[in-house]
A and B are shown apart, each in its own frame.
Chain A
Amino acid sequence: MNAQQIEHLLQRYWDGETTIDEERQLRQFFSGDRVPQHLLRYKDLFVYEKFMQQDHLGDDFDERLLKQVEMPVVKAKSVSIFSRLAPIAKAAAAVAMLLALGNLAERTLLQDYHQMAVNDTIGQQITSPSVALGDDAESGELQVKDSLSRQLKTIEQQESIKK
């Protein structure tokens, strides 16, 4: 904005004819450092108006103040239910994970154990993988036992026939 425009705006300001937006332009212009010498006498008013508009405290004021003021009761209030339960939830999650891991490890070990048992006793793979991978470990074990005793019987029979 050039000096002539500002002078025109200024005249309308004194006469009470400017809009809110034009008044903002004036405050903006006079807060800058390119105010012509002959208009400097009016600068203070617009600087003052702008200064008075910033009449509230910064956002971080509360935080800084409350740090200096000991407020145990209010501090406790600010903790939400969620964050208060967080440690318990964490502990529960840890326990659940341990249980899950334990279960998985048990199944994996049992599976190896069954296959090993079968291989050691018989010397050959006799169980189908589906038996060892069965959901119910106990019924799997039973099936292994059954198939073992069946094999043993067959061997005994074969031996008695040979005799």
Chain B
Amino acid sequence: MALKIGATAINKLYLGSTAINKAYLGADVLFSGVFSPASLFAGGTDGVWYDPSDLSTLFQDSAGTTPVTAASDPIGYAGDKSGNDNHAIQATAAARPTYQTGPARATLDKVDDRLSVTVPAGGFTGTMVLGTDQGTASYGVTIPAGAYDIGGRSGLYFPGNAIVGQLIRDGALSAGEAAATEAYFVANGATASYGAVTNFSQFWQNWSEITSFPLIDTSSGTSFGYAWSNCSSLTSFPLIDTSSGTNFYVAWYACTSLTSFPLIDTSSGTGFGYAWFNCTSLTSFPLIDTSSGTNFAAAWFNCNSLTSFPLIDTSSGTNFSVAWYNCTSLTSFPLIDTSSGTNFSVAWYNCTSLTSFPLIDTSAGTGFSRAWQNCTSLTSFPANAFDNISGGDFTDAFTSTALTETSIDNVVVSLVASGIAAGTRVFDQSGGSAPSSTGEAAITTLRSRGWTVTVTGGY
């Protein structure tokens, strides 16, 4: 029963200037000014609402026969309070979350614990509000019909260690509705902000249902390893505070729908390995501060929609292996500082739109195997590029390229200038032009120093 004027429900009721919380007609509540998430499902709106603070909804077994009564009881059944009967269950005993009190919550071992709800035909496209022991936030979601994990994704990945409240509505919540739901969960004991969390590793890994991510407080976060890995439905990402972050390893791995990326503060970041691996929809990349970064291995692997790359500070970078592998739309590459780089193996493999390459600092480099292999449009390569290198592994470095005669001459003459006469000494080129007599003379010198050299034309 609801209090209405005509068809309009009354949201607030006053006696003079005093707000009324509840009005009764006999025993029936005519009006309640206290927000309940149940109100979000009025009129048969589909979704789920799990509330571990309501013991009447929790059972130890998946059949819903043995009630949860005390801390440490397993939760095999969580009743849906949305009114849609989308109850969540776990039939496997070892994978059941555990009920705990103070606050009432479903704790997750992050090894295998989760409940499963069968999302009805048509799925849910709307908002998920998740209140946990470590933070509370609202997400845009698209969840297909079928089994869906409540708790750790695959039992493993969850932004916290316990569920205090979780609501998913088919149909987006307004900002006010989401805020009210978050406040409701916080009142039940959920931690409001993620601001105290330092380790966000794997929090949202494989949460492919998330279509939008909230601007949460991540200012204390130092580790973001794998945090959004495989969030394949995210099309954008907010400008969160990552100023304390040092570890961004695999952070946005395979976020294949991201079309842009914000200028987050990565000034403390040292590890960027695989960070934007396979972000295939990124068309541009911001000039983030990577001045502390040492590991860029596979960082932009297969970002095949990037048409340009910014002049980021990579002066501390040592490992660039596979960094820009298959960035097939890059038409140019900036003169980044690679003076500390030792490993350039496979770095620009299959960057098929590059026609020229800048005179980067390769003085610390020892490994260049397959670095420019299959850069099939690469015609121009500068002189003196390898004058000061520290090692001579150029296995397949220029295989399947389009180097001009001058460019291949530049490369082999520079290798001679390096003076490398020990360790691995291999150089391969195919495609493009054969070297001139100048290049051939350089190759003769290299061979006299123990190099194995293969070039176009067979010299």
Q: Are A and B bound to each other?
A: no
Residues of A within 8 A of B (CB): none
